[in-house]
Amino acid sequence: MSESEFDLKATLSSKTWFGFDLDDTLHEFRKASGQASFSVFEAISDKYRKPVDHLRTKYQEILKESTAHAFTDGRTSTEYRRERFTRLLQDNGIDESQDIDRLLGIYQSSLRFNLALKAGALQLLETLQRLDKKVIVITEGPADAQEWTVRELGLWPYVDVLETTNKVGKSKIDGLFGAILRKYNIQPGDMAYFGDNEIRDVHAAQKEGILAILYDQKQESDLRYPNSLRINSWDQLQTILLV
């Protein structure tokens, strides 16, 4: 083990709280939600003869608009999805009242079927529990959907706290981390946080004095400097904690 990894191990060993983003950090959210959306597009195309590619392009525009505020208005996942799919149908001249509940059911079933953990995620949380560390999931999204996801993935027994932008009313870049530190009386130096987005996860957590580490499977790990830490697998993090 290199000196830089030894230093990181010592630093992590001193932390009481280990925080994680959820989507695309602990599980393959983009793949699962993308397949769920595609199942809806196929259902619309089969019934109404609308091109799947057109539906996908239009839905991406709607999705970008509707998620701009990072789910901070307190609505449920069903309400968000109903709004998005209703707009998609209306924009294509389809009476949504006839079909929206069926499409919501198709989306949910496909999402459940395609949920998948990131490699090593479950084993890492099991290890943290054995080490008497507290695990907090801090994520953007509707509270009900994120709680459902954590349960469906089998992570619930290993998560001490789950907080979402939807529950707190703040996005990550607008003070979510600070609000959670205050809510649970956590000192910034007692937490390490891991997420896949450099701006919304790493920079936002660092702004509150939290040690933040980017999770990026596409790049080599870099464990040399505390302000620019990057790790590309949960297996590697588990090794650092245990060796």
User: pLDDT tens, 207-239?
Assistant: 999 999 999 999 999 998 999 999 999 999 999
Residue 7 identity: D
Which element (helix H / strand E) includes 215? Answer: strand 211-215
- Quick check: 227 and 206 in contact, CB under 8 A? yes
CA gap 59, 42 in Å, rounded = 13
Cβ count near 90 (within 10 Å): 11
User: pLDDT tens, 38-94?
Assistant: 999 999 999 999 999 999 999 999 998 887 777 888 899 999 999 999 999 999 999
CA gap 44, 95 in Å, rounded = 12
**Cα separations (Å) of 128 from 82, 176, 202?**
38, 24, 21
Residue 4, pLDDT above cutoff 70: no
The confidence score (pLDDT) of residue 163 equals 97
Closest alpha carbon to 118 in 235, 241, 242, 240: 235
The confidence score (pLDDT) of residue 6 equals 44
38 beta partners = none
Q: Which two tokens stand for residue 86?
A: 């209703």
The confidence score (pLDDT) of residue 174 equals 94
Which element (helix H / strand E) includes 23? Answer: none
Residue 204 identity: A
User: What's the angle, vertex CA 38, arms to CA 169 and CA 23, rounded to 5?
Assistant: 35
Q: What is the pTM of this model?
A: 0.93
Residue range 135-152: mean pLDDT, rounded: 96
- Quick check: 188 and 181 in contact, CB under 8 A? yes
- Quick check: 142 and 124 in contact, CB under 8 A? no
The confidence score (pLDDT) of residue 78 equals 95
What lies within 8 Å, CB to CB, of 33 at 6+ separation is 111
> By three-state DSSP, how is residue 17 classified?
strand
User: pLDDT tens, 170-206?
Assistant: 999 999 999 999 999 999 999 999 999 999 999 999 9
> Domains in the chain and their CATH numbers?
3-28+118-242 (3.40.50.1000), 30-114 (1.10.150)
Q: Which two tokens stand for residue 242?
A: 């245990």
Closest alpha carbon to 37 in 91, 92, 94, 84: 84
Percent above pLDDT 70 for the chain: 98
Q: How confident is the model at residue 5 (pLDDT cuts 50, 70, 90)?
A: very low
The confidence score (pLDDT) of residue 91 equals 92
Residue 1, pLDDT above cutoff 80: no
CA torsion 222→124→149→83, rounded to 10°? -10
User: pLDDT tens, 27-39?
Assistant: 999 999 999 999 9
Can you state the angle between helices 143-152 and 77-91, rounded to 10 degrees? 110
